[in-house]
Structure 1
Amino acid sequence: MSVVKEFREFIARGNVIDLAVGVIIGAAFNSIVKSLVDQVIMPPIGLLTGGLDFAKLEWVLRPDNPATEKIEKVSIQYGAFINTVIQFFIVAVVVFLLVKLVNEIRRKDAEEPAPAAPPAPTPEEKLLTEIRDLLANKS
């Protein structure tokens, strides 16, 4: 089997396409959450803490030296890390709620009883069926 044919079969599977759609939607959702955290959630928190911008919080390990271009500032940017942790929690909550919704739908589908089998024909219906069949055989 050629590699191209195997690849075509692999791509044609529904799971792969579903996964691709999920990745694309997830990437778009990630940018929405990033914007929500950076532009909506963190500014009021920064305002409550005295105008602090969390994204710019850092521990400087080695400061810039403007006299020489070789020495650059080295810092641990823990404020950006705090923003990323908040973004993660928002995404985790949304994913949890989606999984909970899907599980609830599955449970409801499982609880619904299968359609009942049609009731057995009554003796009168059996007799009428036999008469119908006899008449059909005569003609």
Structure 2
Amino acid sequence: MKKFINEFKNFAVKGNMIDMAIGIIIGTAFNNVVNVIVKQIVMPPLAFITDGVSFSNRKWVLRTASESADEIAIGYGELLEVLVDFGVIAMTIFIVLKGINRFRDQADDPKDKKVKTPKNIELLASMEQLMKEQNALLKKLES
């Protein structure tokens, strides 16, 4: 039992659980941002364009209701709405992440002077330049 507790303590303290918790918290916050973008920004124009068409009640009736039996129907409308919502959410996430990646790429580019390059990227760029110079010198010596 003591070994189990020590293993759990090592797992929790070394950051695995903390990193996972931070990821879940950020994921939840990002989910809220995406939901607001979809519900408040993307969906209203779509509802305007489609004149408020709702697919949720669409169904394919296999047997109509009677006094002795209930209606049997395949409700495909709600599936269509969920698929459209998924497509809109996926496209919104793609667009947001594409914008974030563009800013990250600008920050990681040591030649871009508009955005301050992080120190680790500057050091890597310097090392890359030194390695290129070293390889050029070695090629001259071999020739």
- What letter is aligned with 2:59? V
For residues 82 and 104 of structure 1, the distance between their equivalents in structure 2, rounded to whole angstroms, comes to: 33
Cα 1:50/1:68, change in 2 over 3 Å: farther
Distance apart, 1:28 and its partner CA: 2.5
Q: Partner of 1:132 in structure 2? A: none
Bigger Cα Rg:
1
TM-aligned CA distance change 1:97 to 1:7, over 3 Å? farther
Query: 2: distance between equivalents of 1:89 and 1:98?
Result: 14
Matched, 1:111 2:122: yes
Deviation at 1:60, TM superposition (A): 1.7
User: Between Structure 1 and Structure 2, how many residues are aligned?
Assistant: 112
Q: 1:8-40, CA deviations, whole angstroms, 9 ceiling, x for partnerless residues?
A: 111112343123112122123213322331343
Q: Which runs of 5+ in 2 are unaligned?
A: 110-116, 128-143
**1-side partners of 2:107 and 2:59: how far apart?**
51
Aligned sequence identity (%):
22
Q: 2:83 aligns with which of 81, 84, 90?
A: 81
Alignment partner, residue 136 of structure 2: none
- Whether 2:77 is the aligned partner of 1:94: answer no
Q: Provide the residue aligned with 1:61 in structure 2.
A: 60
Query: 1:100 offset after TM fit, Å?
Result: 4.5
> What are the ranges of 5 or more consecutive residues in structure 1 without an aligned counterpart?
115-139
Which of the pair has the greater relative contact order for Cα pairs under 8 Å at 6+ separation?
1
> Hey, what's the Cα distance between the residues in 2 that align with 1:11 and 1:71?
54
Query: TM-score, normalised on structure 1?
Result: 0.58
Distance 2:38 2:80 in 1: 15
Which residue of structure 2 lines up, in the alignment, with residue 44 of structure 1? 45
Q: Can you list the C-alpha shifts for 1:46-98, whole angstroms capped at 9, x where unaligned?
A: 21222324xx4565234774756765543222122111111122223333443
